[in-house]
Amino acid sequence: MKKLTLPLKNGEAAELCAGENVLLSGVILTARDCAHKRLTELIQKGEKLPFELKNAIIYYAGPCPARPGLASGSCGPTTSARMDSFAPILLDLGLGGMIGKGEMSDEVRAAICKNGAVYFAAVGGAGALYGNAIKKSECIAFPDLLSEAVYRLEIENFPAVVAYDCRGGSIY
């Protein structure tokens, strides 16, 4: 099992191969459909994004509220294909990769290759496990979206699989 620190540094995605099991630690951002729509609208208007996109990893998830003493509640992945229309734009602007559940479109796969990015698969139904890997959680954009807001998460030993690598490899 390969241990990775996020965000990935330039060129690190090129060392990953589809099918590799990884443990992710470091910083990721969450964003689901509504947040992606808002980000795209900001980009189309030429406005500044509320966070740095360069090399960031976006987890397609919405964390549940935390019980006392915990950083987060359950935080399982949502279906990644719902972000297909947004992902290429964000990848072209420097997004380092995504974490989600299930296949994405051929257009997204091409954008991953073009931009030297990576797509990690997380296991559906394992939200409690992923919630336990979250050590710190902070809402950084769109708080009115509640669980669909953008959160900055500090994670430790978050298990995933390299689903799409930057050379076109796929577990699907």
Q: Which residues are catalytic?
A: 36
Q: 52 pairs with which residues across the strands?
A: none
In terms of residues, how long is the chain? 172
Q: What is the dihedral of CA 43, 48, 51, 55, to 10 degrees?
A: 60
In whole angstroms, what is the distance from residue 22 CA to residue 92 CA?
Answer: 25
Half-sphere exposure in the Cβ direction for 67 (13 Å, CA): 5
Element (H, E) at 114: helix 106-115
